Amino acid sequence: MKAKFNVEGMMCAACSAAVERAVSKLDGVESAQVNLLAKLLTAEFDENITDITAITEAVKKAGFTAEHIDEKPDINPETEPQKAKFSAETTEKFTPVKTRLAVSVPLLAILMYITMGHMVGLPLPHFLHGTENAVSYAFLQFLLTLPIVYVNRKFFFGGFSAIRRKAPNMDTLVAVGSGAALIYGVISIFMIGYGLGNSRIDIAEKYVSNLYFESAATILTLVTVGKFLEERSKRKTNKAVEKLIDLSPKTATVLRNGKEITVKADEIHIGDTLVIRPGEKIPVDGTVTEGSSNVDQSALTGESMPVAKSEGDTVMSASINLEGAFYMKATKVGKDTTLAQIIELVENAGASKAPAARLADKIAGIFVPAVMCISLITFIGWMIAGQSLEFSLSCAICVLVISCPCALGLATPVAITVSAGKCASQGILVKSAAALETLGKADVFVLDKTGTVTTGKPAVTDIITYSVDKDELLMLAASIEKTSEHPIAKAICENYNGNTAKATDFTYTSGMGVSADINGKRIIGGNSALMKINRIDISPALDEAAKLSSQGKTPVFFACNYELCGIIAVADEIKPTSTQAIKALKSKGAEVILLTGDNKNTAEAIGITADVSYTVSDVMPADKSEFVKQLQKQGKTVVMVGDGINDSPALTQSDVGIAIGNGTDIAIESADIILMKSDLNDVVRASSFSRKTLKNIRQNLFWAFFYNVIGIPIAAGLLFPFFGITLSPMIGAAAMSLSSVFVVTNALRLYGMK
């Protein structure tokens, strides 16, 4: 069983790692993945061994709260719980972040004026001048710091609580760092008082010049500013999902008991007949039962042009009716609609782990304890080296506040979430982060033929006449083929727009063709074998038929009164965009293989026209999977693109399976990526998105690692013996806040992908 939970209280990668560890330890839990960005836990477990309650309790014991949510998103616009879930501004038990900033920033500005204003010649009140007023000077700083500490108390509650749970996190670093500075400042006040009371002016002067109240206040304020900017940036990463949710209309017009009534969108039932007027959004998936129109599906498929819909055609939720009114029958409602499934896929992609994130996850689990150890070693080391208590404490605090587990935790999920949302807006649905990452590394693309490279629907390509004119040949052919269900017969009938004649004495010869009487003439249509049985001389057409066959076309012979009258060739034509897409894939250095169960002549003709690397034909479904496996044994990363049931084993076997959107349900279920538009150019686009996303993830991870690897040693005072350079805790806090903002902002650049 798979279940999802909203988890509140997580602040950094150490928090998400703690949740994953707590849930993974439960018996029966197969996997537990946390999306820090969406505050989402996805757990797979054996419901015979454990249950949702046990998972919720495990999260609670880890120090967080978890609430089970439906596996598929609810997109009811009236309640919009999914949109609320994706909102980065969660309800806090403590002072809201904007209020914290409103209190902290002005008080910090006053505090900085008092402590540092004299450095730039700014005047101070008389009662704060001189050693004799040192207690007033220090105590005023303390009073200005207290409100900042109070409104930001969540860092202390969360940080020290995490220590008790033996799972320290980012709050712990901030709480210990700012708390140490605050305690040192309070001790300094007592030491100043002691010095003045005992005529030890030197003691008073020493401590009044090394107060750390401004450091404590600055750490708390700057971290809060950073979190505020980070949350604002993270909200942008979910805009693609929120826009999808907004696509669903709030109401719909339904026919019930012969009357049109307006109901809420979530009150529509399967089988209801809906009235869709021009300009209205389609609320659910269904089938057109009466009328016709052009429908804008761009929000779901990325298609720029409207799609014509008439009786019998399917329509999707959230698409827009542009012109005529029509009636439709609801076939999928609520959480089963196309829109709901797209939202779920985007959410799942963001919640899943990309391979590039594994190293960051491993480090996150030990990051905070390691930083606390480094801070302690820094303090002890400088004290042993003979530095002052103030210097040693400053370095130790700076190590704590400059360390940023948030950057590590956000490096991958923000990029994946932005990219998956961008892909969804282009009609490319990504099921997992791993698929999005792996696609960019692929060196072999294996393409199914029918419905993937070709249209999947036979069409008339050539008409050759002998004893009759073209119009008469088409009329005779359509007249005898109109009762047949064979795809070739349907293609011939669809190609003719005129009136057909009445056919009598209809005869069907299995595997060969048909014959019938029309206007007193015997008309025969079929392959060469049927012509031979009826002793019809087709020798004048054999060369032409052979040429058509070599091009992957199927020639159908027609005879009138046992005399050859023409050939109509039918073929499953290559999609206009397929050749362009294959060329683009090859230009990137990839090998493109056409893999099909069709016969060799047809397959090779299509392969030559499409300009694939090479063609493999006459392949059974099980053999397709084995072919992919053999490529993988050669060390190649294989992408399989298909649309039929026979492609599903290969889609599952491949490193990344891509299903064409109009394919069968089983093919779509087996795939990692779904193309809504059935356009191979979207394979190229998805591959490009993947490479850009992978590059962005690497940039984020590099920055997160580089920042911590460089920042922590500098904060510890590594450069001091050589260059006399140290960092103050205030600078460390600012750097820590900016690192997370940088990572999120860098990921947001993926919105501009093309």
The catalytic residue positions are: 448
Return the HEC string of 39-65.
CEEEEEECCCCCCHHHHHHHHHHCCCE
51 contacts: CB under 8 Å, gap ≥ 6? none
Q: How far apart are alpha carbons 410 and 226 in whole angstroms? A: 14
Residue pair 652/639 in contact (Cβ under 8 Å)? The answer is no
Residue ranges of alpha helices (H) inside 93-238 are 97-116, 134-151, 154-164, 170-197, 201-208, 213-237
**Element spanning 119, H or E:** none
Residue pair 192/134 in contact (Cβ under 8 Å)? The answer is yes
Residue ranges of alpha helices (H) inside 588-680 are 600-610, 621-633, 648-653, 665-670
Render 246-281 in DSSP notation, one character per residue.
Answer: HHS-SEEEEEETTEEEEEEGGG--TT-EEEE-TTPB
CB atoms within 10 A of CB 24: 14
Render 700-749 in DSSP notation, one character per residue.
Answer: HHHHHHHHHHHHHHHHTTTTHHHH-----HHHHHHHHHHHHHHHHHHHHG
Q: How far, rounded to the nearest angstrom, does the alpha carbon of residue 556 sit from its chain's CA centroid?
A: 48
Q: How far apart are alpha carbons 239 and 191 in whole angstroms? A: 54
Convert 191-217 to b/e letters by CB count within 10 Å (16 or more is b). bbbebbeeeeeebbebbbebbbbbbbb
Nearest CA to 34 out of 59, 16, 11 is that of: 16
Q: Residue 129: what are its φ and ψ, rounded to 5°?
A: -85, 145
Give me 274's structure tokens. Answer: 């809906």
Q: Any idea what DSSP says for residue 457?
A: S
Residue pair 11/171 in contact (Cβ under 8 Å)? The answer is yes
Strand 638-642 and strand 614-616: the pairing is unpaired
Residue pair 182/155 in contact (Cβ under 8 Å)? The answer is no
Q: How far apart are alpha carbons 274 and 267 in whole angstroms? A: 12
Nearest CA to 410 out of 402, 422, 418 is that of: 418
Q: How far apart are alpha carbons 376 and 257 in whole angstroms? A: 77
Report the residue count for the chain: 754
Q: How far apart are alpha carbons 419 and 190 in whole angstroms? A: 56
Convert 324-354 to b/e letters by CB count within 10 Å (16 or more is b). eebbbebbbbbbebbbbbbbbbbbbbbbbbb
Residue pair 196/135 in contact (Cβ under 8 Å)? The answer is yes
Q: How far apart are alpha carbons 621 and 607 in whole angstroms? A: 19
Give me 74's structure tokens. Answer: 């609810």
Convert 688-714 to b/e letters by CB count within 10 Å (16 or more is b). bbbbbbbebbebbbebbbebbeebbeb
Q: Scanning the structure block, which residue is given the tokens 């902290």?
A: 104
Q: How far apart are alpha carbons 542 and 107 in whole angstroms? A: 95
